[in-house]
A and B are shown apart, each in its own frame.
Chain A
C-alpha cells in the first residue's frame, strides 16, 4: 500500500503544524498547502482551523478555496474538517453575523449555550477533555472513523460554537457539556467533521486519524 498523501489546507488559520505532525505520526505523508492543484490531487484532504467562522469563510473565499473544498467533496475524496473546519462544512453560522458556510452537510452553527441544562452558568469556551457518546438512535461506531474508540475515552475540545446538523443520521458522536448535547463528530458519505481536535487528543486522537488514512 502506498503512503496516503494528505493535503492540509492552509488558509492562514489554525495549528497546521500539529495537524501535519499528527498525520505523519500515523504514517501519512502530509503537505500543508493552499495550492488548488495540490489539494485536488491529494488522496485525502483535511480542512483544519480555529478562530471565527466569518474570518475562516472569508479567507477560504478570498483564495478561491471554498470551491476547491466543494470539488474535493463532490469527487468523493475523503475530506475531514476539524473544529472550525467542521463548522464550515455546514450551511451557515450565527457567530457574530449570519455567514454562509460550504453547505456540504446541512445544518447550522450555533452558540454553545451559556447555561447548563439545569440552569447554572456555564464556562464558554468549552475547553477540555470530554467523552464521546453515541447519539440517540445510533448503536455503534462500526464503520466510522471512531470505530476504535473505547467507551469512556475522552478527546480534546476547545470551542464556543457548535454544529447543529439538520439530519440526525449525519451525527456520529456527541458529547455532553453541562448537560447540553454537543455534536462532536458528523459525516455525510466521504465528508467527515470533528468538533474535537484528534491531533491534540493523545493516543486516542491518533487512532482516529489513522482510521481516516485507511
Chain B
C-alpha cells in the first residue's frame, strides 16, 4: 500500500508565518521555524515553505529561514515563491531545500520547468498550481499567490507542465484555501486523472476527516495542511490516526 504524505505548509511573509483566506487577508501567526520544528517532532512527513509575497517583490527571501530549519529538521523541505531562474533554485537548494515549487515564473516562461528539471532532476521541480473554479469541471490558473488570473485552463496547464519535466504537482484551490471547508476534491481528481506524477492537494483542510475524500475520491498522493495545524485544531498524530482508521496508508510514526 502506498503511504499518503502528510505535509505541513507554511506560508511566509518577511520573517513571519502567516495565514490568509483565499490566499489573501494575511494574518501573522508566529515564527515559521518554531512551528516547523513542532510539526517535525509530531512526525510530519514533509514541509512546504511558501514565500507568499515573493512574486510581488521578485525574489524569494526564504534562504536564511531554510538554512536555519535544516539544522534541526530532517524531513524533506520544498520551497516556493518568487523562483524565476535556475540560479534562484540553486540558491534555495544550497540553503537546504530538497525541491522548489514554481508557479508564476513557470507560467511566464514554461521553459524554466525544463531547465530546472534538467539541472536538478524532475523530482526537484514541483509545479505549483493555484486554481480557481470558473465553470462546471473547469478551473483557471492563477499566479502571484492567487492575485493574477492567466486565462490558462488548469488541467491543460498541468499536463503541459508535467510534459515539460515537473516531477510533482502542488495543487492549491484558491476557492478553498483558508476556508476550512474541505478540499476541492473534483479539482484534485481532475488533475490526478491526467498526470502520472504525484499530486499534493492543498487548500481547505478544516478537520482531519477532510483528507479522506481527497485521498480516496480525489486520489491525492499527499495533503498539505496549514491552519488546521497552525491553530492547533489537530496535531499531526490525530490526522494520522483518522487516516489509518479510514484505511488510508500513512507512515507509521512513534514518538521517540
| B252 and A200 form a contact (CB under 8 A) | no
Residue numbers in A under 8 Å from B245 (CB-CB): none
Of B2, B119, B124, which is in contact with the most chain A CB atoms at under 10 Å from its CB?
A: B2
Query: Counting CB contacts under 8 A, is A127 at the interface?
Result: yes
State the interface size on chain B (CB cutoff 8 A).
36
| A127 and B198 form a contact (CB under 8 A) | yes
Task: Decide if the interface of chain A is mainly helix, strand, loop or mixed.
Answer: mixed
Of B74, B95, B119, which is in contact with the most chain A CB atoms at under 10 Å from its CB?
A: B74
Residue numbers in B under 8 Å from A199 (CB-CB): 74
Specify the chain A residue showing the minimal Cβ separation from B126: A127
Instruction: Report how far A124 CA is from B197 CA in the complex, Å.
Output: 6
| A202 and B198 form a contact (CB under 8 A) | no
Query: Counting CB contacts under 8 A, is B45 at the interface?
Result: yes
Residue numbers in B under 8 Å from A211 (CB-CB): none
Contact pick for A202, options B3, B40, B122, CB 8 Å: B40
Of B93, B95, B98, B121, which is in contact with the most chain A CB atoms at under 10 Å from its CB?
A: B121
| B76 and A17 form a contact (CB under 8 A) | no
Specify the chain A residue showing the minimal Cβ separation from B93: A15
What is the 8 Å Cβ interface bit string for chain A, positions 8-19, against chain B (1 contact, 0 not)? 000001011110
Given A158-B123, A206-B74, also A128-B221 (CB < 8 A): yes
- 3 tightest A-B contacts by CB? A129-B251, A51-B121, A17-B96
- 17 A-B pairs with CB atoms under 8 Å apart are A18-B96, A21-B74, A52-B121, A84-B121, A124-B196, A127-B167, A127-B168, A127-B221, A128-B2, A128-B3, A128-B222, A130-B3, A131-B252, A154-B3, A156-B76, A177-B2, A199-B74
Given contacts A128-B198, A129-B45, 16 further A-B contacts (CB under 8 A): A13-B120, A15-B93, A16-B94, A17-B67, A21-B71, A50-B121, A51-B121, A127-B123, A127-B221, A128-B45, A129-B251, A130-B3, A131-B252, A158-B123, A197-B76, A200-B75
